[in-house]
Amino acid sequence: MSKRDYYEVLGVDREADEAAIKKAYRKMAMQYHPDRNPENKEAEEKFKEINEAYEVLSDAGKKARYDQFGHAGVGGNGQGGFEGFSGSGFGGFDDIFGDIFDMFGGGSGRRRNGPQKGADLKYEYTISFEEAAFGADKEISINRHENCDTCHGTGAKPGTDKKTCPQCKGTGEVRYAQRTPLGQFVNVKTCDTCHGDGTIIEQPCETCKGAGKVRKDRKIHLKIPAGVDTGSVIPLRGEGEPGVKGGPTGDLYIVIRVRPHEIFQRDGNDVICEIPITFVQAALGDEFVVPTLDGKVKYKIPEGTQSGTIFRLKGKGIPSLRGYGRGDHYVKVVVEVPKKLNEKQKELLKQFADQMGEDVHEQRKTFFDKVKDVFGI
């Protein structure tokens, strides 16, 4: 069975923002959660489908790839950890609304002190028209944080360890009660001593000054697929910022920019170019060389070719990004009228015009016949 559109699954349009997507997900997740529908296989499958859609649309990078390439851009087969409820990260009913509980001090310490994925990075990279058409292997250099080699990311001087914060006892939070006219409320704030980390470093690493990370320039291999265009996004998994407390590394998203070509223009997978020809070539026909992405190709135009006529070279365009077929190459011929004529040339053209007469110019004759019909002149 083909997969349904993720926007359709959540009941939102493609212009929906992050808040609207999250709101729609919460509503549907509450309706179909297994805790509310015990032993209901249909609801279970629906819940999996909702989770899968939200996992993609709530992630900016995945959403961009999905908008551009559909299911193929995000794996196409539901990959992303939705093999079971525990695998998807939604074990209990309250997990769906965990961020709501956080506002009242519930569960935030657990999240803050647990493993966290590193930040994703975006890198804009400019390539040539030909590289976009046929793909290329590149090496790029990015500047990012990496775990300190001296302390291996702990931030503590080698031979020493972090200590549990005595103020918050490792939770990263300080709770205090506050009486109000509505009753007693428990407020939660970040620990001032450890700044929410739950640990303190008594002897910081001299290399990273206790940060556990340092900035480095790193060379990364980039394989650009054939058929990309300006705005295409290439994800590089695990090439972003390092995770926190053992969390996974973030991803790097390469945003492609294509330099304009001096001759070619692109329309989807088709290539268009204009070639000037002389009046004599247009009138008598001629064979001339056409530049294409594959090199020079000889092409013969018939006699009487009009300015603006477009010819097609099938299969000489840009390869499909999806891996099958190529676009076409369109050649638009433009008859170039000479601007500087000597007296002899002018006289020859006048003689030519006298010999040709008006009847041979069919389009011109038809046009002025229409003018007479409309304006009576």
pLDDT digits (tens, 9 = 90+) for 77-133: 433 333 333 333 333 344 444 444 443 444 444 445 678 888 899 999 999 999 999
Q: Which of 99, 128, 152 is the last residue of a domain?
A: 99
**Residue 353 lies inside a defined structural domain of this protein:** yes
E-strand stretches of 261-340: 265-267, 270-278, 286-292, 295-301, 310-313, 329-336
**Residue 231 lies inside a defined structural domain of this protein:** no
Compute the mean pLDDT over every residue in the chain, rounded to the nearest whole number: 82
Helical segments of 37-135, H only: 41-57, 60-69, 85-88, 98-102, 108-113, 129-134
Q: Which of 99, 126, 155 is the last residue of a domain?
A: 99
Please tell me the total count of domains within the chain: 2
- Which stretch of DSSP H or E encloses residue 9? helix 6-10
**Residue 176 lies inside a defined structural domain of this protein:** no
Residue 199's beta-bridge partner residues? Answer: 164
Highest mean pLDDT among 151-155, 263-267, 372-376: 263-267
Find the CATH number of the domain harbouring 291: 2.60.260.20
Sign of the C-alpha dihedral, residues 134, 135, 138, 143? positive
**Residue 152 lies inside a defined structural domain of this protein:** no
Q: Is 191 annotated as a binding residue?
A: yes
Q: Which of 99, 125, 157 is the last residue of a domain?
A: 99
Instruction: Give the side-chain half-sphere CA count within 13 A for 306.
Output: 6
Query: What is residue 223's predicted lDDT score, i.e. its pLDDT?
Result: 95
Q: Is 273 annotated as a binding residue?
A: no
**Residue 237 lies inside a defined structural domain of this protein:** no
CA 349 to chain centre: 57
pLDDT band at residue 377 under the 50/70/90 scheme = low
172 φψ region: left (φ > 0), alpha (ψ -120 to 50), beta (else)? left
**Residue 114 lies inside a defined structural domain of this protein:** no
Query: What is residue 181's predicted lDDT score, i.e. its pLDDT?
Result: 58
Q: Is 165 annotated as a binding residue?
A: yes
Q: What is the pTM of this model?
A: 0.60
**Residue 203 lies inside a defined structural domain of this protein:** no
In whole angstroms, give the CA distance from residue 54 to residue 90: 12
Residue-range definition of the domain harbouring residue 3: 1-99
Contact 14, 67 (CB under 8 A): yes
Contact 186, 175 (CB under 8 A): yes
What average pLDDT does range 219-245 have in this prediction?
Answer: 92
Find the CATH number of the domain harbouring 42: 1.10.287.110
pLDDT band at residue 286 under the 50/70/90 scheme = very high
**Residue 113 lies inside a defined structural domain of this protein:** no
Per the structure block, which two tokens stand in for 32?
């179909």
Higher per-residue pLDDT: 157 or 72? 157
